[in-house]
Amino acid sequence: MEMLSTTSAIRDEFPILEEEVNKHKLVYLDNAASSQKPKVVIDAMSSYYVHHHSNVHRGIHHLSQVATDMFEGAREEMRSFLNAASTKEIIFTSGTTEGINLVATSLSRGVLKAGDEIMITEMEHHSNIVPWQMAATYSGAKLVVVNVTPDGQIDMEDFHSKLSTKTKLLSVVHVSNALGTVNPVKEITAAAKAVGAWVLIDGAQSAPHIQIDVQDLNCDFFTLSGHKMYGPTGSGVLYGREDVLNEIPPYKGGGEMIETVTFEKTTYNELPFKFEAGTPDIAAALGLAEASRFIKRLGYDQIAQTEAELMSYATEKLGEIEGIQFIGTAPKKSGAISFLIEGTHPSDVGTIIDKLGVAVRTGHHCTQPLMAKFGIPGTIRASFAVYNTKEEVDTFVTAVKRAVKMLK
Ligand code: PMP
């Protein structure tokens, strides 16, 4: 297999990077929303449909067995990706949103009680806020929110002061999609577990950039979204610690998650199938496993080094723009830079630079409470992947400068 040691070899793997947008070569800096896909991922999915498709876990015929082996092989790949102890702990989902909803819904069915507390932070994505609000409403538990400091870090003093034996579940983002802050999740997990809480880590923005070891983190749940880590949309993993998954009730009911069904009583299947009702997105799981292999071929050292260089170069170049205000200036950041420019609206800047072929995200980034905390409507966010280059950063910064000139 070809080495991926140069940026041009890496870029060759991503056909979409050759596209033009508005007659300009695409500069794709919206990777935190969704990354682009390498050929190996696209080919794995297409080859599955061309040669191997059938339903899984059901048939005794050849294709069904082949598809089942491939699907379970993908589960083993994702177990290794996260360094989980067992494939029983790897539940395929459609992404982080489904992973969090699975846990929140399950816990709201008799596990969480009035008097319990669910702890989140001010920097959570809506998908790590709303499911817990719903779980609180249905269970009678209380939602407790930890403050964020002005530079965009979790206020650890506030965290420790709010943590107590009432805290049943802590759900915290590993890397903030809006600020880029890398949170000290191992330390936070240790503190929460010391008071007997379960811990869910939202890894939607960390899995693309940081090597994950769920046993080292010692968390009870970890969620990721395949489409943010070079995999397909509709793919994701919820890691759950085996003893915890055995303790909590299922999420969706249906085929596959049962052992026996009568109208009087249903018994549930063993892990992980207890949490995988219905026909899964088999092709998406295979694509995700291929994305994991792609990341392993690159190695997180190379990913981290390339992206750190891009982040610091972009921060320096953007810093030349008069009136720029960075939102989120924590010392440890990964993947994303958020900013505002005095006298301009983020969406106006985004619209103008799109005309120049540059794709960034503008708005509240599904973190409205965080934006409210900073007293801003939203930001411009540039987010990076391993295929981005310094030349693209130059094009982006030049485009932003042009937009500012037009708007001021
Ligand atoms: N959490 C974070 C931190 C995210 O950035 C996102 C996606 N923007 C999500 C959760 C939700 O992920 P998905 O839409 O893939 O389910």
Residue 2 pLDDT: 62
> How many whole angstroms from 405 Cα to the centroid of ligand 1?
33
Residues 377 and 342 in one domain: yes
Distance CA 329, CA 176 (A): 12
Q: Ligand 1: which of 97, 129, 148 to mutate, judged by most atoms within 8 Å of the beta carbon?
A: 97
Q: Ligand 1: which of 123, 148, 174, 177 to mutate, judged by most atoms within 8 Å of the beta carbon?
A: 177
CA nearest neighbour of 114 among 133, 137, 141 = 141
Residue 7 pLDDT: 92
Whether 349 and 403 have beta carbons less than 8 Å apart is answered as yes
Asked whether residue 2 is domain-assigned, the answer is: no
Contacts of 7 (CB under 8 A, 6+ apart): 306, 387, 389
Residues 233 and 333 in one domain: no
Contacts of 398 (CB under 8 A, 6+ apart): none
> How many whole angstroms from 140 Cα to the centroid of ligand 1?
26
| Residue where a domain stops, chosen among 296, 318, 350 | 296
| Residue where a domain stops, chosen among 296, 313, 329 | 296
Omega before 15 within 30 of 0, i.e. cis: no
CA nearest neighbour of 78 among 240, 285, 281 = 285
Q: Report the atom number in ligand 1 closest to the C-alpha of 366.
A: 8
Residues 335 and 372 in one domain: yes
Task: Provide the token pair at 289.
Answer: 């496993």
Residues with CB under 6 A from ligand 1: 95-97, 125, 127-128, 173, 177, 202, 204-205, 225, 366
- Tell me the CATH number at 321: 3.90.1150.10
Asked whether residue 53 is domain-assigned, the answer is: yes
Distances (CA, A) of 249 to 110, 111, 130, 133, 388: 9, 8, 20, 19, 43
Residue ranges making up the domain that contains 14: 7-30+299-407
Distance CA 244, CA 222 (A): 13
Residues 382 and 284 in one domain: no
Residues 266 and 357 in one domain: no
- Tell me the CATH number at 218: 3.40.640.10
Residues 81 and 15 in one domain: no
Residues 307 and 214 in one domain: no
Distances (CA, A) of 277 to 253, 256, 379: 6, 5, 39
Residue 59 pLDDT: 79
> How many whole angstroms from 126 Cα to the centroid of ligand 1?
8
Q: Report the atom number in ligand 1 closest to the C-alpha of 174.
A: 3
Residues 21 and 60 in one domain: no
Distance CA 335, CA 176 (A): 9
Residue 360: count other Cβ atoms within 10 Å of its Cβ. Answer: 25
Residue 1 pLDDT: 56
Residues 338 and 358 in one domain: yes
Residues 198 and 309 in one domain: no
Q: Report the atom number in ligand 1 closest to the C-alpha of 33.
A: 8
Q: Report the atom number in ligand 1 closest to the C-alpha of 96.
A: 16
Residues 157 and 124 in one domain: yes
Asked whether residue 222 is domain-assigned, the answer is: yes
Give pLDDT tens digits along the chain (408 positions): 567 889 999 999 999 999 999 999 999 999 999 999 999 999 999 999 999 999 999 778 999 999 999 999 999 999 999 999 999 999 999 999 999 999 999 999 999 999 999 999 999 999 999 999 999 999 999 999 999 999 999 999 999 999 999 999 999 999 999 999 999 999 999 999 999 999 999 999 999 999 999 999 999 999 999 999 999 999 999 999 999 999 999 999 999 999 999 999 999 999 999 999 999 999 999 999 999 999 999 999 999 999 999 999 999 999 999 999 999 999 999 999 999 999 999 999 999 999 999 999 999 999 999 999 999 999 999 999 999 999 999 999 999 999 999 998
Alpha helices in 169-281 (DSSP H): 185-194, 214-217, 242-247
Q: Report the atom number in ligand 1 closest to the C-alpha of 94.
A: 16
Asked whether residue 37 is domain-assigned, the answer is: no
Residues 269 and 304 in one domain: no
CA nearest ligand 1 atom 14, residue: 97
> How many whole angstroms from 205 Cα to the centroid of ligand 1?
7
Give the chain's domain count.
2
Residue 68: count other Cβ atoms within 10 Å of its Cβ. Answer: 17
Residue 5 pLDDT: 83
Residues with a known catalytic role = 366
> How many whole angstroms from 223 Cα to the centroid of ligand 1?
9
> How many whole angstroms from 257 Cα to the centroid of ligand 1?
26
Residue 397: count other Cβ atoms within 10 Å of its Cβ. Answer: 21
pTM: 0.98
Hunting for tokens 């999915």 — which residue is that? 45
Reported as a single tens digit per residue, the pLDDT across 59-113 is 789 999 999 999 999 999 999 999 999 999 999 999 999 999 999 999 999 999 9
| Residue where a domain stops, chosen among 245, 275, 296 | 296
